[in-house]
Amino acid sequence: MHVKIIILTETELRQCIAITPVVIDAIEAGFSSLSQEHVTMPPIMRIDFPEVNGEVDVKSAAVEGLDGFAIKVSSGFFDNSKLGLPSLSGMMTLFSAQTGVPQAVLLDNGYLTDIRTGAAGAVAARHLSRENVETVGVIGAGAQARYQMMALKQVREFKRVLIYSLDGMEAYVEEMPGVLGVEVLAMDDVEAVVRESDIVVTSTPSKQPYLKAEWLHPGLHITSMGADAEGKQELYAECLGRADLLVCDRRSQSFRLGEFHHGLEAGILKSQSDAVELGEVTSGQESGRTSDEQITICDLTGTGMQDTVIATLAYQKAMSKGMGLEIES
Amino acid sequence: MHVKIIILTETELRQCIAITPVVIDAIEAGFSSLSQEHVTMPPIMRIDFPEVNGEVDVKSAAVEGLDGFAIKVSSGFFDNSKLGLPSLSGMMTLFSAQTGVPQAVLLDNGYLTDIRTGAAGAVAARHLSRENVETVGVIGAGAQARYQMMALKQVREFKRVLIYSLDGMEAYVEEMPGVLGVEVLAMDDVEAVVRESDIVVTSTPSKQPYLKAEWLHPGLHITSMGADAEGKQELYAECLGRADLLVCDRRSQSFRLGEFHHGLEAGILKSQSDAVELGEVTSGQESGRTSDEQITICDLTGTGMQDTVIATLAYQKAMSKGMGLEIES
């Protein structure tokens, strides 16, 4: 058998895909498909490497109407810094949804995951935050703390960013005003960020909750990105009890390994029907925010649907540009 | 981040790996590790594409002592023949088990799966068939029907092969005597193959059982390769009741999607403790065949352990030969 497969590097993929309205809209359409059962999405495959503090997730989904499906491997090996290597890496492979034949290897080093995760945050804010926001907050100063604000800027005209992070805050404050075109202020603690913001995005790998319910105020929207495994948590479970609307990307994930799982354990949530899915909101099956006073929380664990959508977009763009190395095998 | 990744084609991989004693021994050692809990193996990820009669499996495993772990994607799209394409395809990716960083893309088009599956059959026969065998039978005439016999030849000195297959039998009978160095005879039906053989390997994608219990005879060993999904079955469930020893590669797979799952459904098997795992036999925790008169059945569904073992071997061999295309990304 002879297969022609395209190899795309991170450098090439960065020239094909960024956080744009097209990407945000494609991810939003994917969420709608997911909640209308036009997506076949298997449970996340997970492999742990406890001796080296490592974890690997494999995600995938078949999305009706898309030519391909992605298999995305993402790894976090948290002792890598001792070796001078980044903790996170990964890649995607893309296959034909018509024939199962491999089409492309996307050596993105996690870049496409960053983009599709940022885009999901924008989709959440578009439907769940107040329309008029002045101040947005971000907890964490990693790559995703950057992409979240870049994506948010495309759906909400905020005037300033407040940040708190245990590390990396100085570089963020220096770099991001130029990227976002708004002022970026380092704050003394999480409380100050939350109390003064209309939208807060939490983007840390924390294993201990740090955001308290008493800081929530009318009109606030929180998107919580960090928790994607049983042992991770950013919000105290009491936050979930104070919210007027709870949304997640996928109930079967959020109630098993995201923030809502801690809500169930604490007895604050009773069942999965205490939350709606983002796709139910984007497709109009459920309401998003209905008043400026509501407190809304969206928990994003990351879905294979997003990986298939972004990989398909990147591949189409690369093909239209004639990019990539073709290997015959 | 910059990662150097090696791309290996099927042509290169065929120069690195074949069914050899080294490969069979490595797969056997892998089975022993699996049953001694030195392997972390997640459930198979499965995605169905019912509109095009397609199915995709993703397998993986972390094996203690190996430098890497594989993510293997295999697809079967059974309407592909209408398009002039083979039904089966796939590829593997290999990652460092120390850092999670991608190491290699193995564009094997399913070749490595064929090899590791053949090797597992040889491991089963080494421990479960009689030592002295004259005649072996094979049902099916596809690639795996070939690899099974090539692998078996390395552990048992049989004198002839009997084959029955709904199609492809003529080509098999023409081609395989030269490969195996023994006579290969086409038979009129499955019954004739089973009644006259000391070992029978079933290697078909049948969704209907076709091998009957009344044909089993003292001393027979059957390895059943085909069933790897809920709807597939080669042996009538009554066969399992007639066997003196039931072995499988992985209880959690065989009793869910292999032959033993049908045994449970039919009430012929009571629980997973009715079977032992191949690795329990290879590691000496459980007995294999203990007399020439026993009837033994081994059900192989295919494990991510085998994929990690074969991908690691192939990669090491390719590196020692200086093969592969290095891509920086």
In this predicted model, what pLDDT tens digit does every residue of B267-326 receive, in sequence order? 999 999 999 999 999 999 999 999 999 999 999 999 999 999 999 999 999 999 999 999
pLDDT for the residue numbered B2: 72
Contact B161, B180 (CB under 8 A): yes
Min distance A223 CA to chain B CA atoms (Å): 27
Please report residues of A whose CB lies closer than 8 A to that of B40.
47-49
Q: What are phi and psi of B286, to 5 degrees?
A: -130, 155
Which residue(s) pair with A298 in the sheet?
A223, A247
pLDDT for the residue numbered A3: 82
Using N-to-C axis directions, what is the helix angle for B21-35 and B304-320, rounded to 10°? 140
End-to-end CA distance of chain A: 8
pLDDT for the residue numbered A243: 98
Q: Is A329–B109 a contact, with Cβ atoms under 8 angstroms apart?
A: yes
Residue A76 to residue A88: CA distance in whole angstroms: 5
Torsion, Cα A252 A257 A261 A265, to 10 degrees, reads: 130
Search chain A and give the residue with CA nearest B83: A99
Q: What is the pTM of this model?
A: 0.94
Torsion, Cα A94 A97 A98 A100, to 10 degrees, reads: 60
What single DSSP character describes residue B42? P
Q: Is B62–A47 a contact, with Cβ atoms under 8 angstroms apart?
A: yes
Please report residues of A whose CB lies closer than 8 A to that of B48.
40, 62
Residue A5 to residue B239: CA distance in whole angstroms: 44
pLDDT > 90? residue B1 = no
pLDDT for the residue numbered A230: 84
Using N-to-C axis directions, what is the helix angle for B143-152 and B169-180, rounded to 10°? 30
pLDDT > 90? residue B81 = no
Q: Is A77–B98 a contact, with Cβ atoms under 8 angstroms apart?
A: yes
pLDDT > 90? residue B171 = yes
Residues 6+ apart with CB under 8 A from A268: A237, A238, A240, A241
Structure-token match 């992409």, residue found: A147
Structure-token match 């929207």, residue found: A221
Min distance B258 CA to chain A CA atoms (Å): 20
Task: Read off the tokens for B48.
Answer: 């169905």
Search chain B and give the residue with CA nearest A56: B100
Confidence of residue B229 (pLDDT cuts 50, 70, 90): confident
Task: Specify the 3-state DSSP secondary structure of B251.
Answer: helix
Please report residues of B whose CB lies closer than 8 A to that of A56.
60, 69, 95, 100
Please report residues of B whose CB lies closer than 8 A to that of A94.
none
Min distance B79 CA to chain A CA atoms (Å): 8
* B72 in active site: yes
What single DSSP character describes residue A140? -
Search chain A and give the residue with CA nearest B80: A99
Residue B231 to residue B90: CA distance in whole angstroms: 21
Residue A260, classified by CB atoms within 10 Å of its CB into exposed (0-12), middle (13-18) or buried (19+), is buried
Average pLDDT over residues B184-201: 98
Min distance A186 CA to chain B CA atoms (Å): 27
Residue A245 to residue A242: CA distance in whole angstroms: 9
Search chain A and give the residue with CA nearest B100: A75
Q: Is B80–A61 a contact, with Cβ atoms under 8 angstroms apart?
A: no
Question: How confident is the prediction along chain A (329 residues), in pLDDT tens digits per residue?
Answer: 578 999 999 999 999 999 999 999 999 999 999 999 999 999 999 999 999 999 999 999 999 999 999 999 999 998 998 999 988 899 999 999 999 999 999 999 999 999 999 999 999 999 999 999 999 999 999 999 999 999 999 999 999 999 999 999 999 999 999 999 999 999 999 999 999 999 999 999 899 999 999 999 999 999 999 888 888 999 999 999 999 999 999 999 999 999 999 999 999 999 999 999 999 999 999 999 999 999 999 999 999 999 999 999 999 999 999 999 999 98
* Mean pLDDT taken over chain B: 96
User: Which of A99, A307, A328 best probes binding to B when mutated, by most B CB atoms within 10 angstroms?
Assistant: A99
User: Which of B44, B101, B113 best probes binding to A when mutated, by most A CB atoms within 10 angstroms?
Assistant: B101
Structure-token match 């205490």, residue found: A274
